[in-house]
Amino acid sequence: MNFTRRGWLAGVAASLAGLKTAQASGSNRAFRSYPGRLGLLHDSTLCIGCRSCEAACNNVNSLGPPADPLDDPSVFERTRKLSTRLYTVVNRYMPAQGRRAPVYRKHQCMHCNEPCCASVCFVKAFIKTPEGPVLYDPDLCVGCRYCVFVCPYYALTYEFNEPATPRVGRCTMCYPRIRQGLQPACAEACPAGAIQYGRRDDLLELARARIRKYPDRYRPHIFGENEWGGTSWLTIYGQPLATLDLPDEPSHAPLPTLITGHLSLAPVAAAIVPGLLAGIYALAHRRDEGLPKNGQRPTTSLPDSPTPAKKKDGHEPLA
């Protein structure tokens, strides 16, 4: 190949174009929050385990009454998981040493600031709204269940029993009610006031004030403030997170940033690697006399057979 100046300039231009696209597509800046967005504060020490939130959630989402009867305390003997008919669940946990009352905690989709489900969905069926909730569009979903797999809080479930149009099941933070100015159904239903709805910044202040006022009752930490970039559901609690089935001290970096760095290199690689390999090929074959044209044998610099040397100056060649 002829390594011409034109070829070299073309290669550099292509690399620069590739870099520009790479910069535009991938970036590792963490998104903190939309200003003024909403959230919910769950005070696990106030939860009495009445499961009114489960009943209200099922009612609002037309899921039918919860499978386990509401007045049967034996349902707490095992830890229940979320399901497509139970978008939120209250579980009972062993109290910390020295405390007597049982401890309950409500679990549901945490509506993360940087949701993993939205990050991995390649059909963009998940949207993080400015108000705070993460919304799911079943019409766009293709059923790959990558989101179910990747959620760190195990908050998404899948309708395996539904043959025709299976959907992902998850808490919606009652987005239609929020848009109407109402509270989410669970917050309105809670008789003990263990779920508080409001602006996330206000709830953080409220949680801090409560922890400061009752230092014996709470751990000095608001779960959801920073975990994996932060969530819209905040939890304050009185015993170790591991005993409440919550991850203990995860990283503050949003989980999607684990892969956006690598993914952002793909266009760069696509731009540079072909040019690089072509350049190496060119360097390796620069002494060749050219590529063979159609039908011709490749010319080499070695002679096939000794040809008699031409007569020069009328003299015969030596040997």
- Nearer CB in complex with other proteins: 135/204: 204
The answer to whether residue 73 forms part of the interface with other proteins (CB under 8 A) is yes
Round to whole Å and give the CA distance between 230 and 50.
28
At residue 196, φ and ψ (nearest 5 deg) are -120, 135
| Residue 128 in tokens | 């993080």
Enumerate the β-bridge partners of residue 168.
Answer: 158
Q: Any idea which residue has 């969530």 for tokens?
A: 231
CB nearer other proteins, residue 10 or residue 209: 209
Distance of alpha carbon 129 from alpha carbon 175, whole angstroms: 10
Residue 163 CA to residue 33 CA, distance in Å, equals 38
DSSP letter for 231, please.
B
Q: Is the CB of 75 or the CB of 171 nearer to other proteins?
A: 75
Chain Cα centroid distance, residue 182 = 29
Segment interacting with other proteins, rule: CB under 8 A, options 67-75, 115-123, 144-152, 269-277: 67-75
Give the nearer residue to other proteins in terms of CB position, either 110 or 187: 187
Q: How far is the CB of 99 from other proteins (least distance, A)?
A: 9
- Shortest Å distance, C-beta 187 to other proteins: 10
Cα–Cα distance between 88 and 60 in angstroms, integer?
12
Supply the minimum distance, in Å, between the C-beta of residue 139 and other proteins.
Answer: 35
> Looking at 94-102, 134-142, 144-152, 265-273, which segment touches other proteins (CB under 8 A)?
94-102
Residue 159 has, within 13 A of its CA and on its CB side, a CA count of 17
Task: Number of residues interacting with other proteins: please give it, by CB under 8 A.
Answer: 30
Give whichever of 42 and 128 is closer to other proteins, judged by the CB atom. Answer: 42
Could you say which DSSP state residue 299 is in?
Answer: P
Closest approach, Cβ 71 to other proteins, in A, equals 5
Binding to other proteins (CB under 8 A): which residues in 170-229?
A: 190-193, 196, 198, 202-203, 206, 209-210, 213-217
Query: Closest separation between CB of residue 101 and other proteins, Å?
Result: 4
Q: Which residues, in sequence order, are bridge partners of residue 161?
A: none
Asked if 281 and 1 touch (Cβ cutoff 8 Å), the reply is yes
> In angstroms, rounded to a whole number, what is the distance separating the alpha carbons of residues 10 and 275?
10
3-state secondary structure of 291: coil
Nearer to other proteins (CB atom), residue 102 or residue 166: 102
Give the footprint of other proteins on residues 98-157 (CB under 8 A): 98, 100-102
Give dist(CA 227, CA 248) in Å, integer.
9
Rule CB under 8 A: is residue 304 a binding residue for other proteins?
no
The residue from 7, 36, 69, 240 that contacts other proteins (CB under 8 A) is 69
Is 47 or 255 the residue whose CB approaches other proteins more closely? 47
50 vs 259, which CB is nearer to other proteins?
50
Question: Could you give the C-alpha distances from 101 to 47, 50, 170, 223, in angstroms and in order?
Answer: 11, 14, 30, 21
- One of 48, 150, 259, 265 touching other proteins (CB under 8 A): 48
Q: Which residues bind other proteins (CB under 8 A)?
A: 46, 48, 50, 55, 65, 69-73, 98, 100-102, 190-193, 196, 198, 202-203, 206, 209-210, 213-217
